[in-house]
Structures are given as structure tokens and as C-alpha cells.
Amino acid sequence: MTAKKRVTAKDFHLLLTFLEDENEGTQKLVKDQLKGLIKRNPRLIKSGQSVGDLRVRESFNEFVEEYQFEKLEPAFRQLFQRGANLDLEKGTYLLATIAYPDLKQKDVSQTLDRMAEEVNRMMAHLEPAPTKGVNAMRRFLFEKEKFSGNTKNFFDPDNCFINRVLDRRAGIPISLSCVYLFIAWRLGLPVHGVGLPGHFVVGHRTPRGVTHIDAFNRGKILRSKDCEMLVRKLGMPFRQEYLDPMTNLGTLARLIVNLINLYTDRGQTSKARRLAQLLQLIEE
């Protein structure tokens, strides 16, 4: 059996020029070849995204987007089949691969593992108290690691991608809350997401009741009245059920909707449309 010929950078870049061919058959053939090449060598994506010709680069980026969503659809379909208690961490990882196709799940999970180990060590040195878990999580995430809301660039899509939130220690309420949840779950702490309209927070159960954590505002503790005020500031009546735990499926769906809105506002309609198609898989 003969070994497959190694594709040179020159050959690869030449192949990319045929993405603009007006013949649909030629385009399909080229795309099929590119999918095979990238599957064997994902680093070719970066090579294609750095070609000098702007039109070729834009055509390739559009192809990569199409390729990524084709890969994501069966993965999301399988994930959604798990229902309300799906693996939220895996969902956020899959979502991040839209923008970061080279991202490996272990890149996210290992970072969260290390953080959980640090929180665990921190808890071991704290005096026994009903709120020990809350205190350790807040001290680690918001005092030591400085996680906070990205108020300067709130509408940056990177705020929705778990890898970038972990890298930059910044995000939006729902993505920062996810970081809190993923670490706390590793430690067996009783936490859940709370999907207040317009502002996602964490519910951390203690012997004294549920403590609400505002991860966007450096772990600020919210009383029920504070949560009510957040809703009323949006001109909406408050309902007690807004404080109910949100399912993992509901949390992931909300994160996807956030991205759809961001991409729509930025004029990246193809990304928004494809994300909406992924979201429809929930109803199948």
C-alpha cells in the first residue's frame, strides 16, 4: 500500500483558489478534498487563514465555518439526546470549537481540574462553617484569579467561549457562572444556574438556604430582593420562579441564543443562521 503524498503549502494554497470556481461540481470536489486534508492535519486551517489573497482567504474562512458546523451537528444532536441534564461542560466546549476548531476538550477540562484542586486546598484551610464552600469559591475565583465581567467589550463573542473566558478571566454573566458551576461540581458542591431575565447568576445551596452569586460582578452576594431589583430594572415584573434552578439544557440553549444575537448584531448572519439550526435540534 503506497503512502499518501504529503501536501505542500504551495499545493494547499493552490487548491484553495478553486473554492471560487463558478462550477458547483468543482467547488464540491475541492471542499471534499479539503475536508479530508484538514481531518488528517487540522493545522492546515491556520495555514489557509493566513493566505495573502483576501478573496481566497474569505472563501476559505467560509468553508471552515461550514466544515465546523457539519462536524458539530451530530455531536450536538447526541448531546441534546441526554435531555435536561446533559453535559453542560461538553456543550460549552463544542460551542467554543466554532471559533477555535483546534481546541481540544482536555484543554478546557484540565484547566478546570487544576482550579478545582486549588479550591479544594483552600477549603481544607478554612474553618468549618455553613458557607465554607461559598467562601472558598469566591475567594479563589474573584479575589485570587480576578474573574470579572467584561464591561469594556461586553459584546465580544469570545465572552461566550469557555476557553477564552478561562484565558482572559473575563466574560458575560452566563459564561462566568458556568466556570463557577464546573469547578464547584468537581468538588461535589451543591450549585445550580439561575436564569434571571437579562442576568444569569449561580445558586449555591448551604444549610442556611440558597446563596446567589453574581459571577459577573466579582462574586457579589445577592439577596432575593437584589435579584428582584435586577429584574425590575429591566421593566419586568418579578416572578418567584425566576429563582428556580435552570437545567443544563436550558443553560446551554441560552448561551447559544446569546451567540446568535451577538453574531446577528455584528452582521455575521451565516454563523447566526447555523447556530439557530443547531438550536432547532433540541426540538427533534
Q: Which pLDDT tens digit goes with each residue over 215-248?
A: 999 999 999 999 999 999 999 999 999 999 999 9
Q: What is the mean pLDDT of residues 68-88?
A: 93
Q: 13-22, 120-129, 138-147 — which is least confidently predicted? A: 13-22
pLDDT at 1: 37
Q: Which residues contact 69 (CB under 8 A, 6 or more apart)?
A: 98, 274, 277, 278
pLDDT at 257: 96
Q: pLDDT tens, 249-266? A: 999 999 999 999 999 999
Q: What is the mean pLDDT of residues 14-37?
A: 86
- Identity of residue 115: M
Q: Residue 5 — pLDDT band, cuts 50, 70, 90?
A: low
Give me the sign of the Cα torsion angle 83, 272, 258, 182. Answer: positive
Q: What is the mean pLDDT of residues 167-175?
A: 98
Q: What is the mean pLDDT of residues 126-145?
A: 94
Question: Residue 192 forms beta bridges with which residues?
Answer: 203
Residue 10 has pLDDT above 60, yes or no: yes
pLDDT at 242: 97
Phi-psi region of 246 (alpha: psi -120 to 50; beta: other; left: phi over 0): beta
pLDDT at 71: 86
Residue 2 has pLDDT above 50, yes or no: no
How far is the C-alpha of 252 from the C-alpha of 96, rounded, in Å? Answer: 12
Residue 163 has pLDDT above 50, yes or no: yes
Of 263, 281, 283, whose CA–CA distance to 273 is shortest? 263
Give me the sign of the Cα torsion angle 75, 264, 88, 156. Answer: positive
Distances (CA, A) of 209 to 194, 217, 248, 256: 15, 21, 21, 30
Q: Residue 67 — pLDDT band, cuts 50, 70, 90?
A: confident
This prediction has a pTM of 0.89
Of 33, 28, 46, 27, whose CA–CA distance to 7 is shortest? 33
Residue 26 has pLDDT above 90, yes or no: no
Helix 105-124 to helix 88-96 angle, to the nearest 10 degrees?
130
Long-range contacts of 179-185 (CB under 8 A, 24+ apart): 179/112, 179/141, 179/147, 179/215, 180/137, 180/141, 180/213, 180/215, 181/88, 182/88, 182/89, 182/112, 183/112, 183/115, 183/116, 183/119, 183/137, 183/140, 183/141, 184/133, 184/137
Residue 54 has a CB neighbour count (10 Å cut-off) of: 8
Q: pLDDT tens, 184-214? A: 999 999 999 999 999 999 999 999 899 999 9
Q: What is the mean pLDDT of residues 68-92?
A: 94
Of 196, 208, 194, whose CA–CA distance to 238 is shortest? 196
CB 224 within 8 A of CB 209: no
pLDDT at 14: 86
